[in-house]
Structure formats: C-alpha cells, structure tokens
C-alpha cells in the first residue's frame, strides 16, 4: 500500500508527482494566477465557506443521502452496497457543487460573463443555472455530436438563458468544446470567468475543482460512520475528467483499509478509437493545459475516443488520478458500453433509480465486485447523476417500442 501524503499535493505549481502543471499560452498565465490568488484567499475565508455551504444546502439540496441499496445487495449476494445519491441534486448531477464554488469566485473577482465547455450537457446545465441565479451572461461550448445526443440538455441551457455554441471542429465532442472555450477565454479574459467542469486543465483547476467536490466524500464519510460505525472497504466511481471520483475518494485517501476503484469508459472494447479508458493504452502527454495520461498515437496526435456516455468520452484524465494510479493508491478499470447499459437497467428495475449512463459504469463494476466480497463488507458507489438525460438514447439502444 502506498503512503500518499495527500496534504502536500499538488505542489505550489500544481504538480501531482510528474503530472499536472500549467501548459497554456502566455496570455492565460496572468488570468490563471489571478484565479489561483482569488481561490487561495477564498479558501481561507470563513465568509466564503459559509456562502458556499449556504447555496449547496438551500439551492442544491445537500447533504445528499447515502442510500442502502437493499435489493441490489440481496441480488448480488455479497457486500453491502450504499449509493451516494448525487443524482438527487438540483440539475441532476454532482457538477453543480463545482459550478456554485466557481461562480462565487467569479463574483468576488468582479467578472460579469461566464463561459464553460460541456460534454453530456450536465456541466453546461449546472453552469447556465448558477449564471442565471447570479444574473451573469453565459455562453456554453458544446460539440455538435454531443448537442445531438443530449438534446434535452441543450434546451435546458437555452431556457436558463444561456447561449449554446455548437462546435463543429474535429470529432465534434468535448475536446473541441474545451478548445473553443479556451479561445474565448483568451479573448475576453478581462470580464470573463471560465468555469471548467472537471478536475482537469491548467493549475489551479484540478485542485480547486477537487476541493469544491470533496464535499461528496466528506459527507459520505460522516454518513457511513453514523450508519455502520466504520469506514467502507471499497469506493467505486466513474472517471471522466475525474471530479466525482476524486470528490468521493479524497477524504478517504489516508485510510489505508479503504480500497478505491475508478471506472473509465471501455466503449466497444479496448481497441484504438473505440474507447476512452486512458489507463488502458494511454501515455504521458500534454493536453489542454496539463500533463497526464492521454490517448495518443505514436506521433503524439490525440486519438479519437468513443463511449455511450458523453460525460466519459474524453482523451485525457485528471492529473491527480494519473498520480494516484502510479502510486498504486487507486485502481483503475473500465466498463464497456454493453455492461454500462445492463447496469443502467439493473439499477432501474431493482432500486427504482434510473442512473446516468456515466454512473452506470460504476454500477457495472459494483456488479462484478460485490458478489466476490464478504457479506459484512461495505461498498460505497458514487451515483454521480440521474439518467433522465439518457432515457431517449438508452431506449433507442435497447430497442424499446412505443405501446400500440
């Protein structure tokens, strides 16, 4: 077992071991430093903490419950399974935790315009929501392919008053949307804040987003101690950029008895361009501001990716996960599209909860692991979001017919 001294990570320049850092054009160095300064001041300001907790509680619906999945547990016949119900939050996923934190920072910095990238649209919706709430202008960049497969979220963002800009470059998904958002930021940085949606990008985003999301793990820890009077044996979370996973994992990193598994998108299997599992065939590289594990070819060209879930469909992973992987503190595996879709149905039918396709990847791994564990073992699965946005896509994949 590694001895991860989490309080020292990242270092002052945002490095998690060999990962992370700040790889951006010169014009963004100053705004990133300004953001870091504002975030550091806010982090030690009790008023900021008070305000952050106020909106999480009163607007978002925190704390979310740690729910005992009784029928799933019985069906699998092994470890006792708890679900951390981030799907119950306002706007339907954990993304709102970070969006609230960052808009409060933007307000403190005197910014009046908000931009963001989005994949599945959950982060776009969360950002459009907080921008509406604080009366700020909002522009969301979204890949044209993602606009198509997440049309419900496009309408939600528009209804919230945001401008949605479809991005037609390249693969027309998340990576291209991030490029466009960064281009916008360079141009409009004086009055614009970029609310990046995951524990990724140039320093301070990965550590800042982690700290806004650690509320998930802090709550889960308190709740499992209340219910079971001990820490769990296993934590499971899906990993896109890595924010819901690090949010759950971080407060448990120093509990050596707690095992952790991050689940990436296995897509149609581990073949070039057919998956988004960065720890299966990814290599060290720099993409969109940070150094991490990246899916790239031998010339350093970013490879295409595929996943049934837009929120996991990205060629790079957050730098803290890269480091936790190398340290051996967290294990990373993947679930294929088929397994995720099966888990999606299982949770709906056994527990009355339709999970996001992203979260279904974590459920799929739970279905593999729980039966092999003792009945007195405890698992917490992060249910990062609800599946309303995925219902039409899943129905098509599963061949559901309209009743005649």
Ligand X SMILES: *Cc1c(COP(=O)(O)O)cnc(C)c1O
At 167, which helix (H) or strand (E)? strand 163-167
Q: How far is the CB of 239 from ligand X (least distance, A)?
A: 5
Strands 289-294 and 163-167: unpaired
What is the DSSP annotation of 261-280? EEEEEEETSSSTTS-B-TTT
* DSSP helix/strand/coil, 20: strand
Which listed residue (84, 95, 259, 339) is catalytic? 95
Q: How far is the CB of 41 from ligand X (least distance, A)?
A: 25
Q: How far is the CB of 298 from ligand X (least distance, A)?
A: 27
Closer by beta carbon to ligand X, 106 or else 238: 238
Which listed residue (36, 117, 180, 320) is catalytic? 117
Euclidean distance between CA atoms 126 and 122, whole angstroms: 6
What is the binding site for ligand X (CB under 6 A)? 93, 95, 120, 122-123, 198, 238-245, 311-312, 356, 358-359, 384-385
Closer by beta carbon to ligand X, 172 or else 321: 321
Structure tokens at 233: 């044996």
From 174, 212, 193, 124, select the one nearest 288 (Cα to Cα).
Answer: 174
Closer by beta carbon to ligand X, 234 or else 239: 239
Closer by beta carbon to ligand X, 219 or else 373: 219
3-state SS of 25-49 is: CHHHHHHHHHHHHHHHHHHCCHHHH
Provide the 8-state DSSP code for 64.
Answer: P
Place of tokens 């959950």: 122
Rg (CA), the chain: 20
Closer by beta carbon to ligand X, 232 or else 311: 311
Cβ proximity of 366 and 339 under 8 Å:
no
At 101, which helix (H) or strand (E)? helix 95-108
Closer by beta carbon to ligand X, 240 or else 282: 240
Closer by beta carbon to ligand X, 346 or else 359: 359
Q: How far is the CB of 88 from ligand X (least distance, A)?
A: 12
Tell whether the torsion through CA atoms of 231, 197, 138 and 144 is positive or negative: negative
Q: How far is the CB of 206 from ligand X (least distance, A)?
A: 10
Cβ proximity of 250 and 16 under 8 Å:
no
Provide the 8-state DSSP code for 58.
Answer: I
Q: How far is the CB of 402 from ligand X (least distance, A)?
A: 27
Q: Which residue is nearest to ligand X (CB)?
A: 385
Euclidean distance between CA atoms 127 and 162, whole angstroms: 9
86 carries an active-site annotation: no
Q: How far is the CB of 142 from ligand X (least distance, A)?
A: 13
117 carries an active-site annotation: yes
Within 13 Å of residue 1, how many CA atoms lie on the same side as its CB? 10
370 to each of 48, 58, 203, 232, 365, how far by Cα in Å? 40, 35, 37, 13, 9
Interhelix angle 337-351/391-398, rounded to 10 degrees, is: 110
The catalytic residues are 95, 117, 384
């Amino acid at each position: 077992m590694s001895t991860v001294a989490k309080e020292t990570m990242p270092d002052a320049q945002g490095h998690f071991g060999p990962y992370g850092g700040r790889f951006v054009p010169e014009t963004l160095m100053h705004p990133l430093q300004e953001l870091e300064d504002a975030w550091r001041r806010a982090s030690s300001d009790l008023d900021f903490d008070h305000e952050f907790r106020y909106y999480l509680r009163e607007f978002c619906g925190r704390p979310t419950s740690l729910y005992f999945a009784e029928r799933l547990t019985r069906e699998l016949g092994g470890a006792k399974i708890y679900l951390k119900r981030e799907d119950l939050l306002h706007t339907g996923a954990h993304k709102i935790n970070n969006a609230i934190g960052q808009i409060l920072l933007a307000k403190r910095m005197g910014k009046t315009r908000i931009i963001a990238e989005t994949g599945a649209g959950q982060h776009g919706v969360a950002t459009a929501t907080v921008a509406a709430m604080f009366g700020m202008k909002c522009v969301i960049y979204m890949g044209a392919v993602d606009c198509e497969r997440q049309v419900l979220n496009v309408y939600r963002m528009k209804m919230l008053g945001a401008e949605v800009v479809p991005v037609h470059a390249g693969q027309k998904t998340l990576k291209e949307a991030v490029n466009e958002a960064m281009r916008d930021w360079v141009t409009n940085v004086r009055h614009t804040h970029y609310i990046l949606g995951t524990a990724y990008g140039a320093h301070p985003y990965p550590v800042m987003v982690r700290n806004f999301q650690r509320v998930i793990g802090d709550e889960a820890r308190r709740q499992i101690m209340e219910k079971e009077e001990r820490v769990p044996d296993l934590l499971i979370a899906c990993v896109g950029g890595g924010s819901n996973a690090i949010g759950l994992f971080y407060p448990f990193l120093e509990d050596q008895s707690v095992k952790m598994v991050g689940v990436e998108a296995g897509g149609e299997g581990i073949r070039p361009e057919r998956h988004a599992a960065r720890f299966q065939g990814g290599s060290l590289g720099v993409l969109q501001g940070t150094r991490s594990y990246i899916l790239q070819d031998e010339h350093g060209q970013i490879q295409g990716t595929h996943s049934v879930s837009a929120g996991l469909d990205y060629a790079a992973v957050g730098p803290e996960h890269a480091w936790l992987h190398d340290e051996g503190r967290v294990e990373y595996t993947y679930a294929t599209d088929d397994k995720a879709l099966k888990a999606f149905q299982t949770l709906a039918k056994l527990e009355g909860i339709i999970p996001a396709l992203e979260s279904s990847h974590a459920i799929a791994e739970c279905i593999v692991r729980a039966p092999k564990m003792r009945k007195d073992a405890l698992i917490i699965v992060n249910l990062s979001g609800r599946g309303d946005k995925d219902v039409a896509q899943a129905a098509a994949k599963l061949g559901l017919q309209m009743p005649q």
